[in-house]
Amino acid sequence: MRLQELATLVGFEVPAEAGDLEVSGVASLQEAREGDITFFGNPRYLSQLRSCKAAAVFVPVEFQEDLAPQLLKVANPSAAFAAVVAAFAPPELTPAPGIHHSAVVASSAILGSGISIGPLAVIEEHASIGAGTVIGAGCLIGREVRLGEGCLLHAGSIVRERCILGDRVILQPGAVIGSCGFGYELKDGRHHKIPQTGIVEVGSDVEIGANATVYRARFGRTVIGEGSKIDNLVQIAHNVQVGPHTIICSQVGIAGSTRVGSYVTLAGQVGLAGHLEIGDKAVIGAQSGLSKNVPAGSMVIGAPAKPMKDWKQNNFYISQLGKLFERVKELERKLGGE
């Protein structure tokens, strides 16, 4: 389509002389070819921008260089590009409302209007499913589960008995909500399972990634706050409380009864011990190991985790140890030492 048509569709301004420029696709800076549109949002990719062959590029408002592609100055290049990608994407495949003939639905289940239940899905007794929710192939919705409106459960996801999901929750394939907490007592030389009688409550607009697991509480609730986004292969233990709008990246593990605040970021492979308090808007760097509370607004990294500034300084000192060793050896030689 013409650049002006695209701008009108997704909402950005185009110089008058560039309105008739033809745009046929989207691509990264490095892969863009004639007719593509792309974006530049990180200074480290400036060399790629300078050699980019795209027809047009979203750049920050303050960008000053004069380059061959048509530069489109916007406040947020990444967001503008995301809107364009959506415009070029094929329509999403939305399952038609209805229940597949191979699904097993208990007669006591309460089904809202316009829901879709896929092949081999199982809806157990007294489960409640809100209007417009989509249950993918092979999903299991346990006894007395409550699902809100407009949820999307991809194939093979499981919500076990009595757990609660708010509206517009997305479960990626293989996600498990409400599996038993990992609790045992050692008695007479054997591990005896501790009953896990609580539930999981997931707020509205939460997305939980593929093969992520959220344990049910030993008693009470494990809670995932509204708007939080959880990546693939995350493990959240019993009675954990995750605040609203928190980001939890892949392979994070959170031990039991830890409380994570709102707008927190847990980067990949972070490990949190049990019974901790992570304050609002804290950022925990990748592969960090936490055994102590983290105050609100902190940035920590490492194992054990330290303030980001201290961690960077310590790493610098470690990188200088080889040079320091050589200097000490040279001083010993000059002073006649061995």
Which stretches does DSSP call E strand in 48-180? 56-60, 70-74, 98-99, 104-105, 110-111, 116-117, 122-123, 128-129, 134-135, 140-141, 146-147, 152-153, 158-159, 164-165, 170-171, 176-179
Partnered with residue 189 across adjacent β-strands are none
Annotation says 238 is catalytic: yes
Choice among 126, 238, 245, 275 that is catalytic: 238
Q: How far is CA 150 from the centre of its chain?
A: 20
| Residue pair 204/168 in contact by the 8 Å Cβ criterion | yes
Burial 284-319 (b: 16+ CB within 10 A, else e): bbeebebeeebeeebbbbbeebbebeebeeeeeeee
Q: Known catalytic residues?
A: 238
